[in-house]
Amino acid sequence: MQIVGVQVTINVSQRVVISTFFGDLTDADLVGFASLIGSHPDFDPSFSEILDFSGVTAASVSTSVVQEVSRRVSIFNLTSVHAVVAPNDLIFGLARMSQVFAEKTKPNAMVVRTLDEARQVLRLERNGLD
């Protein structure tokens, strides 16, 4: 399933939702992608999540939208683990800001630099994600 700037893949066997962002990241990408996940037929709110920003080449994102999206009630359970992959310094800073705003809505969120680190955080097998 894909919309502009975001590809969502759900790996049922590993119980994880992987959202891969690419190109120019915009406020619209951040605002709209939760409904994309929620409408996927394989979505289960108890799954964990990887938000992979490795393919982002530019970011036109406002701090007010980061704050708004981060404070929304999550479509995932409170016990779900969220790993944000942010190799770029700008995206890493935005992700850390989001992590602070989301303390109550996504208490198990972590920001990492690589997809391998995200796999480790979620204790996922490498074979099933590639």
Whether 128 maps to a domain, the answer reads no
Whether 51 maps to a domain, the answer reads yes
| Range(s) of the domain holding residue 6 | 2-122
Q: How far apart are CA 73 and CA 1, in angstroms?
A: 23
- Give the pLDDT score at 109: 96
Per-residue pLDDT band for 32 (boundaries 50, 70, 90) equals: confident
- Give the pLDDT score at 33: 83
Q: How far apart are CA 42 and CA 11, in angstroms?
A: 8
Flag whether the pTM goes above 0.85.
Answer: yes
Q: Rounded to 5 degrees, what angle do the CA atoms 62, 59, 37 make?
A: 80
Whether 127 maps to a domain, the answer reads no
- Give the pLDDT score at 3: 47
Whether 43 maps to a domain, the answer reads yes
Residue pair 46/73 in contact (Cβ under 8 Å)? The answer is: no
Query: Considering its fold, how many domains does the chain have in total?
Result: 1
Instruction: Using the predicted structure, report yes or no on whether residue 120 has a pLDDT greater than 70.
Output: yes
Question: Residue 45 burial by CB count (10 A; 0-12/13-18/19+): exposed, middle or buried?
Answer: middle
Q: What is the CATH number of the domain that holds 43?
A: 3.30.750.24
